[in-house]
Amino acid sequence: MAKLQNPNRAKIHRSYSVEEIAMLYSVHKNTVRQWIKSGLPMIDQNRPILISGADLRLYWQNKRVSRKSKCQPYEIYCVRCRIPQRPAGNMADFEPRNGDTGRLIGLCPDCGGIINKFIKGTRLDAIRGQLDITHTKTLEHINDSFKPLVNSDFN
């Protein structure tokens, strides 16, 4: 999968040659030529090949939009697999972060990696029918604990 480039690097009121685009995005000239074959519009068919900065920016903006995939409420995006996934076994843990938000934590069924999704606590009811959610207790801060540390020298 090709790396997505930042569309804002191209100045819209400027025209670029293949070499300038290669330097701008830190890629090889042949990579830019592949972009042209895959739909990057040229100003005309004459040499040197020139590309409008506005067209270059629009090309990368459209690439970004076409690759986005919206997660369903019961799905969590897996960064490794690069797709939204249901957690393995339809099980997830909800870890409260503050009063109204928290984090769903699950395992990716394909790669086995940990997947996370931050959600509002009010949306949990809509997800419960799709996933088996377990509430986990947040870890106490050491200052809030009444139990002293085991390896402490204090009496």
* Sequence ranges of the domains in the chain: 8-67, 76-142
Is the pLDDT higher at 147 or at 132? 132
Q: What is the pLDDT of residue 17?
A: 94
Q: Are 56 and 39 in contact (CB under 8 A)?
A: no
Burial state string for 45-55 with b = 16 or more CB within 10 A and e = fewer than 16: eeeebebbbeb
Q: Tell me 47's DSSP state.
A: S
| Whether pLDDT at 16 is above 90 | yes
Domain 8-67 has CATH 3.40.50.300: no
| Whether pLDDT at 73 is above 70 | yes
Which CATH number is associated with domain 76-142? 3.30.420
Q: What is the pLDDT of residue 98?
A: 78
Out of 34-43, 62-71, 83-92, pick the least confident. Answer: 62-71
Q: What is the pLDDT of residue 18?
A: 94
Mean pLDDT of the 11-38 span: 93
Q: What is the pTM of this model?
A: 0.52
Mean pLDDT of the 10-34 span: 93
62: nearest Cα among 119, 5, 140, 122: 5
| Whether pLDDT at 103 is above 90 | no
Mean pLDDT of the 84-91 span: 88
* Burial status of residue 153 (CB atoms within 10 A of its CB: 0-12, 13-18, 19 or more): exposed
DSSP letter string over 29-42? HHHHHHHHHTTPPP
Mean pLDDT of the 59-63 span: 89
**Nearest 5°: phi and psi at 130?**
-95, -30
